């Protein structure tokens, strides 16, 4: 059993009945990616982020994204100090190891872009001075279902910068009964630290060095090409998506204590890694076919 699986078990103490979701978030973090949680309020998104920060020993910040949040609130700004007569940098909320961007689709496009630039570049510039973000830097962004009043949907080009998109959803009956009973372990302070930030970076290096045979590369390319030619998909998966699938599969191999990737590693993560990278065609919408079904059907149809 690897420490990645121990992290999943530890977080499962406080996020009840959602082990598969927890595992996918841990895989994305070990693969060096960011997470998009598309969910209604009150299902445990903040609890998940707090539990992750506790098990990983990371500095954690949270920001509620509202229409009046400015890019300077995210990356920081320079403030004049009357005592010293100098401008001093004031750190933004996102300058930490694990940043929870709550309801990212409620803020302006300009602020969304500022955060997504941090995710892509790993650094930020304030008044001509460029600074590096802490390592590791992980964003867990949440957004309410589309159609909620006052929301601005993230453009497709920005959504696919998240390695995975997932949804915690409602708990099952037994989990919700335990929540109502207030079980002792259902508190984020009950979570134990499993690894340090430096150990997490070591896992990322291990994942990068996992062996991949040619048939795995062929499968990924055949899969993404199939999404580009499907009559149910308007826009298929980009090369960025191909890389994300490979990284998640490598991370899954490490999670399962292997130094090589199998087809099952891909099938395990294909749904959360691929669904948000496609745009459905009008035919798919007319037939009420969702992304999950299309992606899983394509994945199973590719010859191994």
Q: pLDDT, tens digit, for every residue of 107-122?
A: 888 898 889 888 988 8
Rounded to an integer, the average pLDDT of 184-207 is: 83
pLDDT attached to residue 150: 59
CB 97 within 8 A of CB 53: yes
Rounded to an integer, the average pLDDT of 91-118 is: 89
- CA-wise closest residue to 251 among 264, 265, 263: 265
Rounded to an integer, the average pLDDT of 10-30 is: 92
Q: How many CB atoms lie within 10 A of CB 208?
A: 13
d(CA 265, CA 248): 8
pLDDT attached to residue 188: 61
**Residue-range domains of the chain with CATH:** 3-190 (3.40.50.300), 209-301 (1.10.8.80)
Better-scored residue on pLDDT, 156 or 60? 60
pLDDT attached to residue 283: 93
What is the residue-averaged pLDDT of the chain? 89
DSSP annotation of 87 reads E
Q: Range with the lowest mean pLDDT among 19-33, 43-57, 172-186, 279-293?
A: 172-186
d(CA 291, CA 275): 5
pLDDT at 155 over 80: no
Residue 66, class by beta-carbon neighbours within 10 Å (0-12 exposed, 13-18 middle, 19+ buried)?
Answer: middle
pLDDT at 147 over 70: no
pLDDT attached to residue 45: 83
Q: Range with the lowest mean pLDDT among 114-128, 175-189, 248-262, 283-297?
A: 175-189
**HSE, side-chain direction, 13 A CA sphere, residue 186:** 12
pLDDT at 69 over 60: yes
Secondary structure class of 264 (helix, strand, coil): helix
pLDDT at 186 over 70: no
Rounded to an integer, the average pLDDT of 37-64 is: 86
DSSP annotation of 166 reads E
Q: How confident is the model at residue 285 (pLDDT cuts 50, 70, 90)?
A: very high
pTM: 0.91
pLDDT attached to residue 2: 86
- CA-wise closest residue to 14 among 45, 38, 59, 39: 45
pLDDT at 32 over 80: yes
- CA-wise closest residue to 55 among 102, 98, 20, 93: 98
pLDDT attached to residue 7: 95
């Amino acid at each position: 059993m690897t420490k990645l699986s121990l992290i999943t078990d530890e977080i499962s103490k406080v996020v009840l009945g959602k082990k598969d979701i927890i595992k996918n978030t841990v895989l994305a973090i070990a693969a060096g990616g960011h997470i998009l949680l598309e969910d209604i309020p009150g299902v445990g998104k903040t609890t998940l982020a707090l539990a992750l920060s506790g098990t990983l020993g990371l500095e954690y910040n949270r920001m509620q994204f509202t229409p009046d949040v400015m890019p300077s609130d995210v990356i920081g700004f320079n403030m004049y100090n009357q005592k010293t007569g100098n401008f001093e940098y004031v750190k933004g909320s996102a300058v930490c190891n694990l940043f929870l961007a709550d309801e990212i689709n409620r803020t302006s496009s300009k602020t969304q872009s500022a955060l997504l630039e941090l995710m892509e570049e790993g650094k930020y510039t304030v008044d001509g001075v460029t600074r590096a973000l802490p390592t590791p830097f992980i964003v867990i962004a949440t957004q309410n279902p589309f159609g909620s009043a006052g929301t601005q949907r993230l453009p497709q080009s920005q959504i696919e910068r998240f390695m995975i998109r997932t949804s915690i959803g409602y708990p099952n009956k037994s989990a919700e009964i335990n929540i109502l009973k207030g079980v002792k372990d259902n508190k984020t302070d009950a979570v134990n630290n499993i690894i340090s930030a430096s150990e997490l970076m070591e896992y990322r290096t291990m994942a990068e060095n996992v062996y991949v045979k040619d048939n795995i590369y062929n499968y990924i390319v055949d899969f993404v090409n199939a999404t580009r030619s499907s009559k149910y998909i308007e826009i298929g998966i980009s090369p960025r998506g191909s890389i994300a699938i490979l990284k998640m599969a490598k991370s899954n191999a490490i999670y399962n204590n292997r130094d090589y990737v199998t087809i099952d590693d891909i099938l395990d993560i294909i749904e959360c890694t691929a669904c948000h990278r496609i745009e459905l065609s009008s035919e798919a919408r007319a037939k009420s076919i969702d992304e999950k079904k299309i992606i899983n059907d394509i994945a199973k149809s590719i010859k191994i």
